[in-house]
Every structure is written in C-alpha cells, then in structure tokens.
Amino acid sequence: MKGRLSLSAALCLLMGAGAALAQEAKGDCPPPPDHGAELQELFDEVQDAPDAATAQRISNQMWELWADAPNAAAQEILDSGMRKRASQNFLGALEEFDRLVAYCPDYAEGYNQRAFIHFILQDYDAALVDLNRTLDLSPDHVAARAGKALTLFGLDRVAEGREVLEAALELNPWLPERHLLDNALGEEL
C-alpha cells in the first residue's frame, strides 16, 4: 500500500507539472499579482527607516513582492533564471528571462531581470528598453528606477540618469546608489 501512495503522489505531481508546462506552452499566463497596497506600505516604511539596515530589510520585502510571479510555471522560469544568473550563466539566464517575458508579457519583473542581465553584459541599450517596459508596467518599481539611472550613466546620459535616480530616491532614500549624487564619482559619471 505504501508504494501505491508514493506512486499516486508522484503521478499527481507529474500531472500538476505537466499542466503548468502545458499552460506555459499555450501562453496562458494569468495577470500578475497586485501587491500595490503592500508595496505602498513598504515605501512609507522605508522613507521613515531610521538606518540603512532597517531600510535593507524593508527593501528585501519589496523584492519578495516583485518576485512573486503570476503562477507556478512563471515562478519556476523566474527562479531558474535567477539561479543561472547567480552562477554567472548569464546567457542561460537571458534565455530564461526571454522565455518569461514571452510567456508573461505583463509581468514587470521578467523585464527587470532581463534588463539586469543586459546591464551585466554592458548592453545598455537593451537594458534601457527592458527597464522602460518594467516601469510602464510597474511605475514605482524603485529597483528598476535605480537600474535605469545606472544604465543611463552607462550610456553617458548623466543628467538624465541623475534625474531618474533622484526620482528613485524619493521612493527609497536608502538606495545604495544614493552616494552617486553627492560624491566626486557622481560628477564624473
């Protein structure tokens, strides 16, 4: 009896995975979860954070919400791409994020993660396209705003990058990039 339950459980898991893959193949990505109210609370908290460590914990909570994919299939693609990026398999990560964007074209984090890979590969033009799409879908995605500022700096569009970074800092004054506005390095970008 014990073997049958294990086999039944395995079959259920395989059927569930197969259904998720079939949904992905059909392109039936549901709308992304709406975390707007939760994010607004976190923005309020980070603006009142007493120190950088507290702000980092709040930022980590924001990342958890942004990385909450629309369904299990999208989550697996996102997680796979992030694992590949963490292991410095940037081309493999790019393939995963391409797949995620194709499957879930309304999920902002797919574009944001792909933009990060483009940035790492110093393809700033491609990164900017994806960051703009991220911000079209999620205007208060502060990490995408900061990424856009860095990308603009990479494109030698310093004044525009500063403007974008200032807007990001209005949402989260504790961003690590804040130092680029008030030190000599920021002047030379």
- Residues with Cβ < 8 Å from 75, sequence gap 6 or more? 68, 69
Angle of CA points 165, 166, 169, to nearest 5° = 85
Specify the range with the lowest mean pLDDT, choosing from 56-65, 119-128, 178-187.
Answer: 178-187
Q: What is the pLDDT of residues 159-184, one digit of tens each?
A: 999 999 999 999 999 999 998 887 43
- Mean pLDDT of all residues in 69-76: 98
Q: What is the pLDDT of residues 129-155, one digit of tens each?
A: 999 999 999 999 999 999 999 999 999
Specify the range with the lowest mean pLDDT, choosing from 14-18, 25-29, 68-72, 113-117.
Answer: 14-18
Q: What is the structure's pLDDT at 27?
A: 61
Q: What is the structure's pLDDT at 8?
A: 44
Locus of tokens 């609370």: 41
> Is 127's pLDDT higher than 80?
yes
Closest CA to 149 of 127, 168, 164, 159: 164
Residue type, 38: E
Any idea what the CATH number is for the domain that residue 136 is in?
A: 1.25.40.10
Burial of 13 (0-12, 13-18, 19+ CB in 10 A): exposed
CA 185 to centroid of chain Cα atoms = 27
The Cα–Cα gap between 64 and 39 comes to 10
Number of domains in the chain: 1
Q: Which domain holds residue 135?
A: 2-188
Computed over every residue of the chain, the mean pLDDT equals 87
